[in-house]
Structures are given as C-alpha cells and as structure tokens.
Amino acid sequence: DAGVTQSPTHLIKTRGQQVTLRCSPKSGHDTVSWYQQALGQGPQFIFQYYEEEERQRGNFPDRFSGHQFPNYSSELNVNALLLGDSALYLCASSLGDRVEGAFFGQGTRLTVV
C-alpha cells in the first residue's frame, strides 16, 4: 500500500522564482493538506484541498496557491520566492472531512538562494 508520495524530494530555487510541488495521497484518501516546516519548528498549516476546492487556509500570503486534481493528487505553487520560504514542505492526506489519521509524506526540501 503506497503512502503519500511527494516530488521532487529536494530543489534549489533563486529568489523571485516560482516553484511547483506535487503530492499523491495515500491510497483510499481523498483529502490533501499542505504544511510548511521550518528548521527546528513544528509544521505550519498552509491549506487543505477536498473535492478539488480549498477548504481551509492558514496564515500564508496569496503567493501560496494550490490545486487538487480529480484523481485527488495536489500541487502547491509558490510565486515570487523569498529566502524565508526555504523549508520542508509536507503533504498530508486523509479521508473525507476528517483530519484524524492524517498521513504525511516525506516532504520536499526547498532551498531559496
């Protein structure tokens, strides 16, 4: 049973550029949440997608946007990258309108230089 798959695992971008991160949820899950984890900190909620719509958003600027596809996979887009966007981006999947049992992927390590 495949877990949550994220790609790429690592990438380096230049300040001002745009980046797209991808996530495939755990088999049987239909909800995808994105979190940002700065070094030495707990994950911070960015947003959640369910039925291809953003259901809840955390305290992140509009530079952060997302999408969910009919197969439940999801993308996180970040525009106009700042040095402070350097972090581990985690995707978590769950089932339906439940946050319980959220299953995390290994994350994408983004470095902005």
Partner 1 sequence: GENVEQHPSTLSVQEGDSAVIKCTYSDSASNYFPWYKQELGKRPQLIIDIRSNVGEKKDQRIAVTLNKTAKHFSLHITETQPEDSAVYFCAAVNSNSGYALNFGKGTSLLVTP
Binding site for partner 1 (CB under 8 A): 3-4, 31, 33, 35, 40-45, 48, 55-56, 58, 90, 92, 97-107
Nearer to partner 1, 9 or 17 (CB): 9
Angstrom distance (rounded) from CA 99 to CA 77? 22
37 in Cβ contact with 87 (< 8 Å): yes
33 in Cβ contact with 45 (< 8 Å): yes
Q: What is the DSSP string of 51-77?
A: TTEEEEE-S--TTEEEEE-TTS-EEEE
Nearer to partner 1, 52 or 97 (CB): 97
Least Å distance between CB 18 and partner 1? Answer: 25
Nearer to partner 1, 34 or 81 (CB): 34
Least Å distance between CB 16 and partner 1? Answer: 29
